[in-house]
Amino acid sequence: MSLIENLRIIKESLPENVTLVAVSKTKPVEDIQILYNAGQLDFGENRVQELVSKYEVLPKNIRWHLIGHLQKNKVKYIAEFVQLIHSIDSKDLLNEVNKQAQKHGRIINCLLQIRIADEETKFGMEKEEAQLILNHCKTEYPFVNIIGLMGMATFTEDENQVRSEFRILKNYFDYFKAYYPGLKILSMGMSGDYEIAIEEGSNMVRVGSAIFGSRN
Ligand SMILES: *Cc1c(COP(=O)(O)O)cnc(C)c1O
């Protein structure tokens, strides 16, 4: 099936309140351009270098999402244009984003990545650390706007486990939101689990292979 057809089918299956981030990592700019021409504006990448080189050649109204683990020393390369950083996993990183945002005269939207998976390899912070950051973000990080949470479920066939991990994150989200009404986005769900994520309250899904085909 064609890229556009894949996109259309997924978009039609999403509730109106759910934003689709098309995850274009490892895929050529030509593929992105095709989807852009079909009206898709939100794209996600997980590597800074790849993100920057795609940003440079593609239309400037694309909204670029950084979804993967971000090293502090690379924030400076994306600070000028990134739409949303999904993967804030430490205070240190947030500090650097704040610094680079100030330097570029803008406020950068961020999500706190929470570790919900049962896998050591996945990044993210604990609920307590997120709580501490949210308590102080207005004064400590004035050039950062924390607008939500992100999480990745365990890579497993066990749908019940995936569902319960998403449910935990949704509970954190609701809990924090009561204190910080600025939290609007709950980014959870990928190609293999976005339907479950939406059932559990996601309003932003990051879908790659189901649109672009599998990656090598
Ligand atoms: C690669 C990636 C995705 C998309 O994965 P698919 O399974 O191809 O949909 C989503 N989120 C993050 C953080 C990723 O790195």
Tens-digit pLDDT string for the chain (216 aa): 799 999 999 999 999 999 999 999 999 999 999 999 999 999 999 999 999 999 999 999 999 999 999 999 999 999 999 999 999 999 999 999 999 999 999 999 999 999 998 877 678 999 999 999 999 988 999 999 999 999 999 999 999 999 999 999 999 999 999 999 999 999 999 999 999 999 999 999 999 999 999 998
23 lines ligand 1 (CB under 6 A): yes
**The ligand 1 atom nearest the CA atom of 206:** 10
Handedness of CA 91, 100, 86, 119 (dihedral sign): negative
Separation of CA 106 and ligand 1 centre (Å):
27
H-helix or E-strand containing 108? Answer: strand 108-113
pLDDT of residue 9: 97
61: amino acid identity, one letter: N
pLDDT of residue 102: 98
